[in-house]
């Protein structure tokens, strides 16, 4: 069990958590949810021991092993990929490294022999003789082909390196597993594999994800960050949302009923408070008002962004036509003879394994890349909006305010239009 006792944390005067007490039990899989900025990642760091709370404590059983999904894929650039995964079990990795050093000693003394025996016991306890087999299975499940396993991490791109770090977190079946956005950079097949893996995991799992389907598929419980506290619900994300909305509506109705009663009592007091014959009744109603307590309903994170795509002008029926489109990078052919016609109103998902050319196709359509062969034709009155995978690529100058940044894309937009859009996306 992972227990949290009276944890409080603030940043710059903003209270994220106020005396939070909760627990996470083995065999249960918790989705940690909440609005952006509510403190999910901060709470995860507190659970991991990477960040101290202002007050309170986090406790876990002695000798239990906690594993965290790290995001620093530059740390192990020169290490063999299999070794990076095995490093997920620090006790095992340390024993294996120490054993290798001792075996290099020419003068094998009794003390060295005794130490080697102790290390062999540790390696056996941590299932070290199956370590490489387990690491290979994790890597292959996450889409890292076997030909890369003995190579240094630096041969992989950033997204694939993060998969290796995910395999590192999963390695050795830790007692407590903390995953912050594990599905980033995973393709559909790898996500499904991860879902199956976590279904069979028996320890404490706490996971943050913006993938609603993933949370619904994996989680047995939901720990929701709201009202400067954490509330645990039985069930996955959609179950939590239904329970939370029902509770909020119930409390609002109770408050409305109480408020109506208070108004009726106040009206009686106002009408008859000066009447000597009804003074005792008026006093009785004043006492009744004092006994009625309204529930303090703080602003909730139930609010959701409102997104609606409204073209400024109606396009022709034919929106996009790709004719024999091809694209290569050096000697690698990424797209070959792509033909496609898209009509107005279509909603299309581009799917496929990583590296197959999905992003290249979108960049050709958006005009970021010029096809080597073929043509991309836009229909009448068609404009293209493009959100790149790399946010830095799309943001450009980040010194602007959110208002200024949006305004640069449409200088004809009114202040009301831009502020309305920001409001719908929950910008304060």
Cα distance between residue 28 and residue 233, in whole Å: 12
Of 231, 230, 225, 205, nearest in space to 217 by CA: 205
pLDDT at 340: 94
pLDDT at 112: 84
Confidence class of residue 65 from pLDDT cuts 50, 70 and 90? very high
Cα distance between residue 100 and residue 112, in whole Å: 12
- The answer, yes or no, to whether residue 75 has pLDDT greater than 80, is yes
Element (H, E) at 286: helix 279-291
Lowest-confidence range among 59-68, 137-146, 261-270? Answer: 261-270
Cα distance between residue 47 and residue 51, in whole Å: 8
pLDDT tens digit sequence for 86-134: 999 999 999 999 888 888 887 778 888 898 899 999 999 898 999 999 9
Q: Are 41 and 54 in contact (CB under 8 A)?
A: no
Per-residue pLDDT, averaged over 168-192, amounts to 92
- The answer, yes or no, to whether residue 362 has pLDDT greater than 90, is yes
- The answer, yes or no, to whether residue 418 has pLDDT greater than 80, is yes
Element (H, E) at 177: strand 176-180
Strands 2-11 and 29-33: unpaired
Of 2, 66, 33, 27, nearest in space to 199 by CA: 27
- The answer, yes or no, to whether residue 363 has pLDDT greater than 80, is yes
- The answer, yes or no, to whether residue 299 has pLDDT greater than 80, is no
Element (H, E) at 20: strand 14-24
- The answer, yes or no, to whether residue 417 has pLDDT greater than 90, is no
Cα distance between residue 323 and residue 340, in whole Å: 7
Q: Are 85 and 139 in contact (CB under 8 A)?
A: yes
pLDDT at 145: 92
Q: DSSP states of 208-232 as a string? A: E-S-HHHHHHH-SEEEEEETTEEEE
Residue 107 Cα distances to 95, 100, 338, angstroms: 20, 14, 67
- The answer, yes or no, to whether residue 230 has pLDDT greater than 90, is yes
Confidence class of residue 297 from pLDDT cuts 50, 70 and 90? low
Per-residue pLDDT, averaged over 64-70, amounts to 94
Could you identify the residue written with the tokens 């950079």?
185
Tell me how many degrees the CA angle 164-169-173 measures, rounded to the nearest 5.
125
pLDDT tens digit sequence for 133-167: 999 999 999 999 999 999 999 999 888 899 999 99
Per-residue burial over 60-92, b = 16 or more CB atoms within 10 Å of its CB, e = otherwise? beeeebbbbbbeebeebeebebbbbbbbbbeeb
pLDDT at 349: 92
- The answer, yes or no, to whether residue 241 has pLDDT greater than 70, is yes
pLDDT at 428: 64
Backbone φ and ψ for 329, nearest 5 degrees, come out as -125, 110
Per-residue pLDDT, averaged over 21-28, amounts to 96
Q: How much of the chain is helix, strand and coil, in % rounded to 5?
A: 40, 20, 40
pLDDT at 423: 77
pTM (2 decimals)?
A: 0.74
pLDDT at 427: 74
pLDDT at 306: 64
pLDDT at 370: 93
Cα distance between residue 377 and residue 325, in whole Å: 11
pLDDT at 290: 87
Cα distance between residue 369 and residue 393, in whole Å: 14
pLDDT at 361: 94
- The answer, yes or no, to whether residue 232 has pLDDT greater than 80, is yes
Confidence class of residue 301 from pLDDT cuts 50, 70 and 90? low
Q: What crossing angle do the helices spanning 188-199 and 131-141 adopt, rounded to 10°?
A: 130
CA atoms within 13 A on the CB side of 269: 14
**3-state SS track over 71-140:** CCCCCCCCCEHHHHHHCCCHHHHHHHHHHHHHCCCCCCCHHHHHHHHHHHHHHHHCCHHHHHHHHHHHHH
Residue 323 Cα distances to 352, 368, 375, 377, 379, angstroms: 21, 17, 5, 8, 13
- The answer, yes or no, to whether residue 330 has pLDDT greater than 90, is no
Question: Average pLDDT of the chain?
Answer: 89
- The answer, yes or no, to whether residue 76 has pLDDT greater than 80, is yes
Other C-beta atoms closer than 10 Å to the C-beta of 132 total 15
Residue 6 Cα distances to 67, 230, 340, angstroms: 23, 11, 58
Per-residue pLDDT, averaged over 60-78, amounts to 89
pLDDT at 283: 84
For residue 75 the two structure tokens come to 């740390």
- The answer, yes or no, to whether residue 388 has pLDDT greater than 80, is yes
For residue 410 the two structure tokens come to 């449409």
- Provide the 8-state DSSP code for 196: H
pLDDT at 300: 64
pLDDT at 302: 63
- The answer, yes or no, to whether residue 20 has pLDDT greater than 90, is yes
């Amino acid at each position: 069990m992972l227990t949290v006792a009276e944890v409080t944390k603030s940043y710059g005067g903003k209270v994220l958590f106020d005396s939070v007490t909760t627990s996470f039990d083995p065999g249960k899989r918790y989705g940690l949810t909440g609005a952006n900025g509510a403190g999910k990642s901060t709470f995860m760091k507190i659970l991991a021991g990477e960040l101290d709370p202002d007050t309170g404590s986090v406790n876990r059983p002695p000798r239990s092993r906690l594993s965290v999904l790290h995001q620093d894929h530059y740390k192990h650039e020169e290490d063999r990929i299999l070794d990076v995964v095995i490093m997920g079990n620090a006790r095992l990795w340390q024993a294996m490294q120490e054993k290798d050093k001792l075996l290099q000693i020419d003068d094998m003394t009794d003390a060295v022999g005794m130490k080697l025996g102790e290390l062999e016991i540790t390696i056996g306890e941590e299932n070290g003789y199956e370590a490489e087999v387990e690491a290979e299975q994790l890597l292959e499940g996450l889409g890292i082909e076997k030909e890369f396993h003995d190579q240094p991490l630096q041969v992989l791109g950033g997204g694939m390196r993060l998969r290796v770090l995910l395999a590192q977190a999963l390695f050795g079946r830790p007692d407590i597993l903390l995953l912050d956005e594990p599905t980033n950079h995973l393709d559909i097949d790898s996500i499904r594999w991860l879902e199956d893996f976590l279904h069979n995991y028996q320890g404490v799992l706490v996971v943050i994800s913006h993938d609603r389907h993933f949370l619904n598929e994996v989680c047995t419980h939901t720990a929701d960050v709201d009202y400067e506290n954490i509330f645990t619900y039985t069930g996955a994300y959609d179950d939590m949302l239904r329970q939370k909305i029902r509770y909020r509506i119930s409390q609002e109705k109770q408050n409305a009923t109480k408020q109506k009663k208070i108004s009726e009592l106040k009206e009686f007091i106002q009408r008859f408070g000066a009447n000597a014959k009804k003074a005792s009744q008026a006093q009785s109603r004043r006492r009744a008002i004092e006994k009625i307590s309204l529930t303090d309903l703080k602003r909730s994170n139930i609010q959701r962004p409102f997104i609606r795509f409204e073209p400024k002008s109606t396009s022709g029926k034919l929106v996009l036509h790709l004719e024999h489109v091809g694209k290569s990078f050096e000697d690698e052919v990424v797209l070959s003879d792509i033909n496609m016609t898209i009509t107005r109103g279509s909603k299309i998902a581009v799917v496929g394994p990583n590296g197959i050319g999905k992003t290249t196709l979108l960049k050709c359509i958006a005009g970021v890349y010029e096809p080597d062969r073929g043509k991309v034709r836009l229909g009448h009155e068609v404009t293209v909006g493009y959100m790149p995978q790399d946010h830095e690529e799309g943001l450009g100058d980040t010194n602007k305010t959110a208002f200024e940044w949006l305004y640069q894309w449409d200088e004809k937009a009114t202040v009301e239009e831009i502020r309305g859009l920001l409001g719908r996306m929950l910008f304060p």
